[in-house]
Structure 1
Amino acid sequence: MEQGLPNATDAPVAHDNNTTTTRQIWQVITASSVGTVIEWYDFYIFGSLAAIIGPVLFGSKGKPEETLLGALAVFGVGFVVRPFGAVVFGRIGDMIGRKYTFLVTLLMMGGATVATGLVPSYDKIGWVAPAIVLVLRLFQGLALGGEYGGAATYVAEYAPDNRRGYFTSYIQITATAGLILSILVIVLTKKAMPDADFKTWGWRIPFLLSGVLIIASYYIRKQLHESPLFAKAKAEGKTSTSPLRDSFLNPVNRRLVLIALFGATMGQGVVFYTSQFYAYSFMQNALKLDLIDASIVLVVSMVLATPLFIYFGALSDRIGRKRIIMAGMLCAALFTVPLFYGLKAFAGPITDVTPATVDAAGQAVATVQKALAPNLPMMTLLTFFLVLFVTMVYGPIAAYLVELFPTKVRYTSLSVPYHIGNGIFGGFVPLVATWIAVWAQAQPAGSFAQEHAALTGLVYPVIIAAVCWVIGSALMKDTRNVRIMD
């Protein structure tokens, strides 16, 4: 007999045609979330270390901006294949089951991450180094493409209809938690050794640590049963024999997939990666903040904002998913640029100027200039508002996507628009925004683009968020308290 959740003795929570206890729901959330955090951790390490990994993959003698763009391009490859992972593993999840599918994705992600930490540098093996890492990033992207949809679907199919936004919001925390974990591990590793050692070999430690985390997470997940709704559908012969056909050739379902993509996940993806990942890269590369200072700003702001994922998820159970997601999208479109301008202003270097004076002999005393340290508290506050927008668009979106599609094609149908929106539109925010900024910096001195070069890259995510807000406001139907049992 398959080992599963232990018998619970607490009061049952009402659910469609099955009885799920509160204890079981929390066990499901814990097991799903732990694994998903680790997968996000694995996926984000590379991007968090892009400035350091760039010279390793493309040669220590390359220009910093070129090696950075090269590393971000390799990082972006993982996002490109996420929709393909959603198709492959979504199909398996809808035909075979949720549990075993995200066990496979967990092992695939962990193996690729550990292998990345063992790849020799460009200076030793030439272009073979970035080629190997490129292939490993493809595996990571495929794995992550199957992970999120499985975890979100699995939790949602256990949760009661009237609290689905609340329970699935815990899965929404995992992406931010994975980024926080990756940054903390990187910072602690960097603090434990000289800077030269960290750049030479110490950066590999966070990758290798993933092996231990994956084994622990695999053991936890192996204890789970299959989702009750999927198990019931499978027992009754109601699962899809062709999830891809039923998801994308069925005109009704295809329309829902397109609305989910262009009305929700496209904008959610750019808001997420701009407010967290690009902000982190921007502080280090454009504002020249020390890695430790940039990490403090981002991690503190994310920790303070994390409870808001739960708040907005629970709020969506009462007032609906659409209005919260659209409000977050509009705020991001309107206030992202001003908030980044604020980060630039408070990052410095700010110069404190003492006016010239005249001494007793009538001689002028030279002006004294002193560079002031960045105002980290103000930068943290501004970054908190950026992450606030993330919690609004991301907190309720898992429940919205789950409620949009039927059980037999749910894994596939929600995974594809989610990973196109996040993988293609959102995942390329760091690369596209950095490329635009580099282009603007090369424009003639005194031109508008050159004077605002550091912030010109924001035009990409702001336009995407605004377009998504228009489409979503017009076409999205609100969902809450719906019965998801077919």
Structure 2
Amino acid sequence: MLRLATASLAGTAVEFYDFFIYGTAAALVLGPLFFPSFSPLAGTIAAFATFGVGFVARPLGSVLFGHVGDRYGRRPVLFASLLLTGVATVAVGCVPTYASIGMAAPLLLLVLRFVQGIGLGGEWGGAVLLTAEHAPAGRRGLWGSFPQMGPPLGFLLANGMMLLLTATLTDAQFNSWGWRVPFWAAGLLAAGGLLLRSSLAETPQFKALSESGERAAAPVAEVLRGHWRLVLLTAGALSSGYAVFYSVSTWALAYGTEVIGVSPTLMLLCVMVPVAVKGLLTPVAALLSDRFGRRPLCLAGSALAVVWMFPLVALLSTGEPVLMSLGFMVALIAFVTMFAVIAAYLPELYEPRVRCTGAAVGYNLAGVLGGAVTPIVATALSGGGRPPWGVAGWLTGVAVLSLCCFAALPETRPRPTEAKDAGRPGEEEQPARV
């Protein structure tokens, strides 16, 4: 389990590094380089729009790779998705700017960001099922938290590299070539991730489906026909987590540097420390879900998000590093309380024959509302004054939606007797019904 979980963590870290490095670049540099004819505000919105395209593509990647995962195995998904995202990310670092090739530059960014989203849409489902379907039922939350530690690790790698570059290069050097270096580095990281995954075994539950002839013939059709309500509920439930994380990690970077006037290096530090703490708290929250249940933690995280969004915006608007970091820290504690457990929660909600498709589609649909739309809406709402209370209102509304959806979902944690009976890796209790 440790080897499997480590390989899963490494893969998601690389994939999310690829995804996050674009978001950081969009907040710091892509606007003036690829949309120079726009005003600073409009250029940032345009850069965030290309950032959002990746989220729109992720559900499509879930459908494509979910079909592969449910028909041909979880293992092929892990290789294809990582390779696709890595190639697209390296290519972003090679795109000439608007000054060199005109409108072809932002169009190329748009296409490559779309390809990134396709790859990441498949990655999460494959990585999560690799651990969830191997793990003992009574420790599924803990082992499932390993791929969930990949996103904060990827974020820290991406922003750590950006922090190093902004601190050591002049503005002219960074804008000329420095911002491209993290994209080129993605090629080496992807190669390492593929090597780690080369010896992984297929999950016991998929092997059982193959041997019994019970694989879904058309997973997407089965999900739409029999699980559409569950998909919508999970998408609505997870949207707040996306909105909270990307308001902190992407919109706040742009707002802090462009509106408040904080240096990019300081803003990156204010975000990175809370993200590191979030990563450390992920297995703790997952262990609590094995003890007390998935749903109670998700409800608690959503409730905290509802009450914290206005204080978050107020603390950010001070421009004081300690206060901004405090605001980010509490917001990310709300996030991790929800998202640390979903690697166990979502697979338990879906039956094995459509699990790769259903869980991944629900997870990535949430990213459209929470991840794609939030930085664009927040940037538009923050142009009229300080503090930007409209942003706080938007985030609070999304959090209320998540709270209601989590309230409508059932508990799935195996009872102690079920966990004991299904204690060997690969054994399966019945999924909860919605």
Q: Shorter-chain TM-score category?
A: over 0.9
Letter in 1 for 2:405: I
What's 2:406 paired with?
Answer: 472
What's 1:326 paired with?
Answer: 299
Letter in 1 for 2:363: Y
CA separation in 2, counterparts of 1:42 and 1:382?
Answer: 26
SS in 1 for 2:100: helix
What's 1:146 paired with?
Answer: 122
The answer as to whether partners of 1:271 and 1:329 remain within 8 angstroms in 2 is no
What's 1:359 paired with?
Answer: none
Choose the corresponding residue for 1:457, options 391, 395, 398: 391
CA separation in 1, counterparts of 2:104 and 2:195?
Answer: 34
Q: Structure 2 matches for 1:223-372, cutoff 5 A? A: 223-250=199-226, 253-262=227-236, 264-345=237-318, 347=319
Distance apart, 1:468 and its partner CA: 2.1
Distance apart, 1:460 and its partner CA: 1.8
CA RMSD of aligned residues (A): 1.6
The answer as to 2:361 corresponding to 1:416 is yes
What's 2:31 paired with?
Answer: 54
CA separation in 2, counterparts of 1:387 and 1:468?
Answer: 15
The answer as to 2:348 corresponding to 1:403 is yes
CA separation in 1, counterparts of 2:402 and 2:24?
Answer: 27
CA separation in 2, counterparts of 1:379 and 1:457?
Answer: 15
CA separation in 1, counterparts of 2:251 and 2:30?
Answer: 17
CA separation in 1, counterparts of 2:274 and 2:155?
Answer: 12
Letter in 2 for 1:479: T
SS in 2 for 1:118: coil
SS in 1 for 2:233: helix
The answer as to whether partners of 1:78 and 1:138 remain within 8 angstroms in 2 is yes
The answer as to whether partners of 2:145 and 2:283 remain within 8 angstroms in 1 is yes
TM-score (norm. length: structure 2): 0.93
Q: Deviations over 1:24-78 (max 9, x none)?
A: x11111111111111101111111011311122123x542212111111111111
CA separation in 1, counterparts of 2:370 and 2:315?
Answer: 25
Distance apart, 1:172 and its partner CA: 1.2
Q: Deviations over 1:395-422 (max 9, x none)?
A: 1112110100111110001011100102
Q: Deviations over 1:154-185 (max 9, x none)?
A: 11001100011111112111112111111001
Distance apart, 1:297 and its partner CA: 1.0
Q: Deviations over 1:438-471 (max 9, x none)?
A: 2xx1xxxxxxxx454x342232221011122123
| Identity among equivalent pairs (%) | 33
CA separation in 2, counterparts of 1:270 and 1:464?
Answer: 7
Distance apart, 1:485 and its partner CA: 5.4
CA separation in 2, counterparts of 1:222 and 1:139?
Answer: 23
The answer as to 2:149 corresponding to 1:173 is yes
The answer as to whether partners of 2:142 and 2:283 remain within 8 angstroms in 1 is yes
The answer as to whether partners of 2:311 and 2:327 remain within 8 angstroms in 1 is no
Choose the corresponding residue for 1:429, options 355, 360, 374: 374
The answer as to whether partners of 1:276 and 1:387 remain within 8 angstroms in 2 is no
SS in 2 for 1:148: helix
Label 1:36 to 1:47 Cα distance change in 2 as closer, same or farther (>3 A): same
Q: Deviations over 1:279-323 (max 9, x none)?
A: 333322332211110111111122123221111111011111111
CA separation in 2, counterparts of 1:284 and 1:231?
Answer: 51
Letter in 1 for 2:392: L
SS in 1 for 2:260: coil
Letter in 2 for 1:463: G
Distance apart, 1:126 and its partner CA: 0.4
CA separation in 2, counterparts of 1:127 and 1:287?
Answer: 30
Bigger CA radius of gyration: 1
- Of 218-227 and 275-284, more deviation after overlay is shown by 275-284
CA separation in 2, counterparts of 1:343 and 1:435?
Answer: 17
What's 2:21 paired with?
Answer: 45
CA separation in 1, counterparts of 2:298 and 2:251?
Answer: 21
Choose the corresponding residue for 2:50, options 74, 90, 94: 74
The answer as to 2:320 corresponding to 1:386 is no
SS in 2 for 1:286: helix
Label 1:53 to 1:73 Cα distance change in 2 as closer, same or farther (>3 A): same
The answer as to whether partners of 1:281 and 1:430 remain within 8 angstroms in 2 is no
What are structure 1's unaligned runs of at least 5 residues? 1-24, 348-373, 442-449
What's 2:425 paired with?
Answer: none
Letter in 2 for 1:169: S
Which protein, 1 or 2, shows the higher relative CO under an 8 Å CA cutoff with sep ≥ 6? 2
What's 2:2 paired with?
Answer: 26
The answer as to whether partners of 2:238 and 2:366 remain within 8 angstroms in 1 is yes
CA separation in 2, counterparts of 1:65 and 1:391?
Answer: 31
SS in 2 for 1:158: coil
The answer as to whether partners of 1:94 and 1:408 remain within 8 angstroms in 2 is yes
1 or 2, which has the higher strand percentage?
A: 1
Letter in 1 for 2:180: R
SS in 1 for 2:133: helix
CA separation in 1, counterparts of 2:12 and 2:279?
Answer: 16
Letter in 1 for 2:31: G
The answer as to whether partners of 1:275 and 1:390 remain within 8 angstroms in 2 is no
CA separation in 1, counterparts of 2:278 and 2:369?
Answer: 25
The answer as to 2:139 corresponding to 1:163 is yes
Choose the corresponding residue for 1:185, options 161, 170, 177: 161
